[in-house]
């Protein structure tokens, strides 16, 4: 069997028409029908009269290291969903594996999730980041069930895959918590289904191939591949529940949900530009492989009659830049800004860690962070993105002035830390509502990243924040946020945090704001009241900003309030060490790409 490390992404284009055909087929009887109610013991009946079996002290119990045992837990809150298999779960900070002895052939693998907020005090809901493997296939990578459930506005959901099992093989499902600097990421699962299917149902044994993007050769759905279900549509018919399916317990959607008017966003590239053509195909190639809540979705494209058009989901609330500078009537509240930054950080972290090789965006900025109708952040514009298979790739410098990593501009060595620098500029834009470059300001204020670092050095960063935010940010949250942003724009990439560290610390920052809001008084308008002038100082320095990688974090409390102690490798550098060499680059007033 060929060793495939990732799922093969498949996209089909088809027309819908309503055709009524009466066909009577015998019901398929699956020779493998395994249902695991994770975190429970004995057997339990679901509402659809299917019998599920617990994994506690049974042949379904997963294997794991003796010193790092998983726990089982029952959710304390129950919504309008079936208790089986969603009310119990198995959770662990370490790897665990379910081993299924099954017959050879293709199988449906369904993973059921309910990211409840109260399984255990030791497992924080938003720390569920993990990878799921089925033998040599990676089904999910750096996946968060809580993020997806929030985006779907659903308490429970399941993910479905097709995996082929070879002769004399077992089907192993391994759950692996994602590495993190705080070592508090965990994996969990509520229910598992393994259902056999006819061998030629989806896999093409001797069938015709399918057209493949930018390839002259046809694509064949081989048994050496695994696939993920995106949606299943009953064309011309109504929805079908799992128990009404022909023996494979599939869920079918009513095609009426997919008929109607769809508002989309169109991006038309210059057909005469060689760079435009490269960006066009690069974006198609990357977005055909990637799918994440916080990445913009590519619906389709046109490459016909010298036209290059990309079609995306329409983002109702435009770009983050629009909301920061052009929305004069309604400024974004502070906690909503934090949510947007956290979402964008999650999207970038997925680019850096979610594929076999890191993908570096190379053009992170507020115009490339889109906001949907729910204000969910979506990273967009992958025309300059590059997949790298080394820690540092030598490449031509590309990006946007004001956001461009000075180390990358100087050495032409591209790493994930280049995106981190750009995102640090975004964080300061969100805090200050000032553009990354502004030629109308005095020389030392034109470049936002440089000016913010100078203000941190002088202890005046609180004086340049967005006037709308004054009195609305808790001091504890402010200190953490500025520490994160300042660390991102360190001169040396080695001193910057990873996007995973940035994401975790922004989540910590939001928690600090929520905790402060819970205990602080409000004004007659219902708004919390905080000091309008905020200060920031990182302990251990002598007036020079500290670049920290946020390797560990400790919060202390005493009579004077709450503080943050950061234990990290630090580098005290002059603000002008690298940037003066490229001042002409980083103070360009345009927002054109390199």
**403 phi-psi bin (left φ>0, alpha ψ -120 to 50, beta other):** alpha
Q: How far apart are CA 447 and CA 409, in angstroms?
A: 16
Q: How far apart are CA 536 and CA 478, in angstroms?
A: 8
DSSP SS3 for 231: coil
Q: How far apart are CA 420 and CA 206, in angstroms?
A: 48
CA dihedral defined by 486, 489, 492, 496, rounded to 10 degrees? 60
φ, ψ of residue 471 to 5 degrees: the values are 85, 5
φ, ψ of residue 187 to 5 degrees: the values are -115, 150
Half-sphere exposure of 568 (CA within 13 A, CB side): 30
Q: How far apart are CA 303 and CA 271, in angstroms?
A: 10
Question: Which pair of structure tokens corresponds to residue 386?
Answer: 């590059």
Q: How far apart are CA 197 and CA 561, in angstroms?
A: 61
How far CA 260 is from CA of 16, 255, 298, in Å, comes to 12, 10, 19
Query: Which residues, including other chains, have CB under 8 Å from residue 37's CB and lie 6 or more apart?
Result: 44, 52, 53, 54, 55, 84, 85, 88, 191
DSSP per-residue codes, 317-385: T-BHHIIIII--SSPPPHHHHHHHHHHHHHHHHHHHHSSSS-EE-S--SGGGEEE-TT--EEE---TT-
Q: How far apart are CA 32 and CA 170, in angstroms?
A: 13
Half-sphere exposure of 45 (CA within 13 A, CB side): 3
DSSP SS3 for 117: coil
Active-site annotation, residues: 363
Q: What angle do CA 17, 23, 25 make, to 5 degrees?
A: 130
Nearest CA-CA partner of 504 in 518, 484, 487: 484
Query: Which residues, including other chains, have CB under 8 Å from residue 459's CB and lie 6 or more apart?
Result: 535, 536, 537
Q: How far apart are CA 416 and CA 119, in angstroms?
A: 35
Q: How far apart are CA 409 and CA 406, in angstroms?
A: 5
């Amino acid at each position: 069997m060929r060793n495939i490390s990732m799922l093969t992404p498949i996209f089909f284009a088809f027309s819908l028409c309503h055709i009524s055909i009466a066909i009577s087929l015998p019901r398929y009887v699956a020779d493998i029908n395994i249902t695991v109610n994770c975190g429970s013991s004995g057997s339990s009946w679901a509402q659809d009269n299917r019998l599920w079996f617990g994994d506690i002290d049974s042949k379904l119990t997963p294997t794991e290291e003796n010193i790092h045992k998983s726990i089982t837990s029952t959710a304390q809150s129950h919504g309008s969903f079936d208790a089986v298999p969603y009310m119990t779960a198995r959770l662990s900070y370490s790897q665990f594996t379910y081993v299924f002895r099954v017959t050879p052939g293709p199988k449906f693998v369904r993973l059921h999730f309910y990211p409840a907020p109260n399984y255990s005090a030791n497992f924080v809901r938003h720390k569920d980041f993990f990878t799921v493997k089925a033998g040599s296939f990676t089904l999910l990578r750096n996946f968060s069930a809580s993020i997806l459930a929030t985006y779907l506005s659903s308490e429970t959901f399941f993910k479905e895959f097709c995996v082929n099992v070879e002769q004399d093989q077992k089907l192993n499902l391994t759950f692996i918590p994602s590495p993190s600097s705080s070592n508090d990421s965990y994996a969990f699962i509520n229910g598992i289904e393994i259902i056999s299917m006819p061998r030629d149902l989806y896999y093409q044994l001797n069938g015709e191939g399918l057209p493949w993007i930018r390839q002259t050769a046809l694509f064949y759905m081989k048994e050496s591949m695994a696939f993920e279900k995106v949606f299943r549509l009953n064309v011309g018919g109504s929805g079908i529940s799992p128990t009404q399916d022909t023996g494979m317990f599939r869920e079918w959607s009513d095609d009426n949900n997919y008929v109607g008017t769809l508002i989309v966003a169109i991006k038309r590239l210059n057909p005469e530009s060689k760079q435009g053509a490269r960006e066009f195909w690069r974006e198609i190639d990357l977005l055909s492989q990637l799918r994440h809540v916080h990445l913009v979705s590519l619906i389709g494209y046109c490459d016909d009659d010298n036209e290059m058009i990309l079609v995306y989901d329409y983002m109702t609330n435009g770009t983050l830049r629009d909301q920061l500078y052009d929305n004069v009537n309604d400024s974004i509240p502070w906690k909503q800004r934090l949510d947007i930054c956290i979402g964008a950080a999650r999207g970038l972290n997925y680019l850096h860690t979610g594929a076999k090789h890191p993908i570096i965006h190379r053009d992170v900025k507020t115009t490339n962070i889109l906001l949907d109708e729910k204000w969910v952040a979506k990273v967009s514009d992958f025309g300059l993105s590059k997949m790298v298979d080394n820690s540092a790739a030598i490449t031509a410098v590309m990006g946007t002035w004001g956001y461009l990593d000075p180390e990358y501009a100087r050495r032409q060595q591209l790493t994930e830390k280049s995106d981190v620098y750009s995102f640090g500029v975004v964080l300061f834009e969100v805090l200050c509502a000032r553009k990354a470059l502004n030629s109308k300001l005095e020389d030392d204020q034109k470049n936002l990243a440089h000016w913010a670092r100078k203000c941190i050095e002088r202890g005046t960063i609180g004086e340049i924040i967005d006037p709308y935010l004054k009195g609305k940010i808790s001091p504890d949250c402010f200190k953490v946020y500025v520490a994160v942003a300042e660390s991102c724009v360190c001169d040396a990439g080695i001193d910057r945090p990873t996007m995973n560290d940035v994401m975790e610390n922004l989540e910590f920052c939001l928690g600090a704001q929520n905790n402060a809001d819970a205990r602080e008084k409000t004004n007659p308008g219902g708004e919390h009241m905080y000091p309008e002038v905020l200060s920031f100082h990182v302990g251990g320095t002598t007036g020079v900003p500290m670049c920290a990688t946020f390797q560990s974090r400790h919060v202390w409390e005493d009579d004077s309030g709450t503080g943050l102690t950061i234990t990290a490798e630090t580098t005290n550098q002059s603000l002008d060490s690298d940037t003066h060499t490229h001042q002409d680059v980083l103070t360009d007033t345009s927002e054109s790409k390199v």
